[in-house]
Amino acid sequence: MAISATHDGPDLIGEIVGDRYKIEEVVGAGGMATVYKAFDQTLERAVAVKVMRREVVKEADQLERFRREARAAAKLSHAHIVTVIDAGEENGRPYIVFEYVPGETLKQRIKSEGPLPITESVAYAIEIGSALVAAHAAGLVHRDVKPQNVLLDTQGHAKVADFGIARELEASDGLTKTGRVLGTTDYVSPEQAMGEDVTGQSDVYSLGIVLYEMLTGDVPFKGENHVAVAMKHVKDQLPDIQVKRPEVSNALAAVIEKMTEKEPVDRYLTAASAVSDLEDVLAMESARAGGLTGEATIVFDSLPKRSRNLAPSGVSHPTRTKVAWLVAALAAVGIALLLISQLESGSGGDAPSTKAKTGAVIPFKSTGSFDPFSTGGGNEEHDEETHNAIDNNVNTDWTTESYQGGVLNKPGVGMWGRTYKAATAATATVRTPARSLTLEIYGAKTLPTNLAGWTKLGDSSGDVNGKRIPLEKVPDLRYYLVWITALPPAVNGTSKARISEFVIRN
């Protein structure tokens, strides 16, 4: 029996494709194809058969695209990419046979479970990322990285599927410019939304959004329609992941920010460099969690030694790029045109950008309060709480004592962090719930006993929360001090300063 030329969808059930694959049930459906679970009667095993919809077969370019999907995916052999087994045509309808992946899609998992455990999210991102590294190495950009296209097998491993709109980096035959409506813009990179060149970096962006969704249970941008969402990818800053999921470490937040930079020059240049930082984060997270469970353990065990041995470090920090309003306005027009004409993005292949802006979080080993002008003689400034400012958790903090009238009765009060080894920080970031704070950052090689022993490196005031404070780059420092010189406005007659996180980067 062959695929009926007049039936589609579930009606294929019970039929045999390619004299071999007995169609059993529908497991998924997209814009141009239906995916069935089938039984391979020759090898006596389950397979997945993706059959092009009948209506779509009439479109020559779609037909060609479908054939390409088979060839593209068949080029790739990777543990985290769904394997192509066979391909063919029945009654003019092309089909592709894949290994059958029992389980659910990553989207289904997030929908049913909400936010996933942090280490598992990172582990999945590493697996998906490694699949992208392989695809990019073969000259293919996936262009449709989303949790609907990630299958989770029964062991909990991720497999990337659907190279349906994947494109050869060098291809410039116009084929990619025609035809298909973008299914969702929830994961679209700004350059893809704008119809600009799409490279492997676009997949990195989409993976960053997928990771964001795994950690928060939701996509970062919502809108009335695809155009509105795509616009937000182009011009809105990604919502702060640590607000949505406070246990996310600074290091992990920094990797996500760098994966989702709007400008490709600011983003990870390659999937490989993103994966490498994710591996470092997984190593750190496992140290913090005192061990891992499930999927994350397996991924962790296969990490390169480099990452496993790593103390927290190696995580590059992103530089947020402000997208100019002009660009944003142009973007609105660009996206509208793009979607209305149902064009897909992509013109000629291009080399990845070569400009990189990187910096690593310099971890602190220990902390203490610094209160040289104290009159009380005791430990009013809560020395024992200072570690709360380096625990990667914005929900815990170091607080000063309460000051009457919100007035600091001394020149300042502070807390320091001591690095593992000599460092040259370029920026400092202080997270504080305060509405406004005035502070200075100092550095020293050995712990000074008075303020004059420190070297001033930078300062900030007002709404300092989360700001990158530029520092004078003094080499070989071991101690970094946040020195508070003015408190937030008093509430009910008193005020105190609170620091939830103190981070330096090089």
Q: Which of 38, 40, 49, 50 binds ligand ADP (CB under 6 A)?
A: 50
Cα–Cα distance, 95 to 82 (Å, whole number): 15
197: CB partners within 8 A, 6+ apart: 191, 345, 346, 347, 348, 349, 350
Quick one: angle between helices 226-235 and 325-340, nearest 10?
A: 150
Nearest approach in angstroms of CB 434 to ligand ADP is 46
24 binds, among Mg ion, ligand ADP, none (CB under 5 to 8 A by kind): none
Which segment (154-162, 271-279, 291-299, 367-375) binds Mg ion by CB under 5 A?
Answer: 154-162
**Cβ distance to ligand ADP smaller for residue 148 or 216:** 148
- Site membership for ligand ADP, residue 273 (CB under 6 A): no
- Site membership for Mg ion, residue 162 (CB under 5 A): yes
**Cβ distance to Mg ion smaller for residue 29 or 287:** 29
- Catalytic residue numbers read 144
- Site membership for Mg ion, residue 186 (CB under 5 A): no
Q: Which of 105, 121, 199, 249 binds ligand ADP (CB under 6 A)?
A: 105
Cα–Cα distance, 312 to 352 (Å, whole number): 28
236 binds, among ligand ADP, Mg ion, none (CB under 5 to 8 A by kind): none
Q: Measured at CB, which residue is nearest to ligand ADP? A: 30
CB 446 within 8 A of CB 333: no
Nearest approach in angstroms of CB 253 to ligand ADP is 29
Q: Which residue has the tokens 């609907």?
A: 148
CB 132 within 8 A of CB 201: no
**Cβ distance to ligand ADP smaller for residue 35 or 292:** 35
CA distances from 228 to 149, 180, 196, 262 (A): 22, 19, 18, 16
Which segment (84-92, 161-169, 332-340, 448-456) binds Mg ion by CB under 5 A?
Answer: 161-169
Nearest approach in angstroms of CB 50 to ligand ADP is 6
Q: Which of 16, 29, 30, 453 binds Mg ion (CB under 5 A)?
A: 30
- Site membership for ligand ADP, residue 101 (CB under 6 A): yes
Which segment (30-38, 216-224, 230-238, 397-405) binds ligand ADP by CB under 6 A?
Answer: 30-38
**Cβ distance to ligand ADP smaller for residue 151 or 299:** 151
Quick one: angle between helices 294-301 and 271-289, nearest 10?
A: 120
- State the amino acid at position 377 in one-letter form: G
**Cβ distance to Mg ion smaller for residue 162 or 381:** 162
| DSSP secondary structure string for all residues of 415-478 | EEEEEEEEE--SEEEEE-S-S-EEEEEEEESS--SSGGGSEEEEEEEES-TT-EEE----SSEE
Cα–Cα distance, 104 to 120 (Å, whole number): 16
Tokens matching residue 276: 């490498």
- Site membership for Mg ion, residue 199 (CB under 5 A): no
Q: Which residue has the tokens 């002008």?
A: 373
Give me the residues paired with residue 58 across strands.
Answer: none
459 binds, among Mg ion, ligand ADP, none (CB under 5 to 8 A by kind): none
- Site membership for Mg ion, residue 280 (CB under 5 A): no
- State the amino acid at position 388 in one-letter form: N
Strands (E), 8-69: 16-17, 21-29, 33-40, 45-52
**Cβ distance to ligand ADP smaller for residue 31 or 304:** 31
- Site membership for Mg ion, residue 466 (CB under 5 A): no
Total residues found in the chain within this entry: 506
391 binds, among ligand ADP, Mg ion, none (CB under 5 to 8 A by kind): none
Q: Which of 62, 149, 192, 216 binds Mg ion (CB under 5 A)?
A: 149
Among left, alpha and beta (phi > 0; psi -120 to 50; other), residue 135 is alpha
Q: Which of 23, 56, 72, 82 binds ligand ADP (CB under 6 A)?
A: 82
Among left, alpha and beta (phi > 0; psi -120 to 50; other), residue 268 is beta
- Site membership for ligand ADP, residue 100 (CB under 6 A): yes
Nearest approach in angstroms of CB 299 to Mg ion is 24
Cα–Cα distance, 315 to 281 (Å, whole number): 7
Contacts with ligand ADP in 139-198 (CB under 6 A)?
148-149, 151, 161-162, 164
Q: Which residues bind ligand ADP (CB under 6 A)?
A: 27-28, 30-31, 33, 35, 48, 50, 82, 98-101, 105, 148-149, 151, 161-162, 164
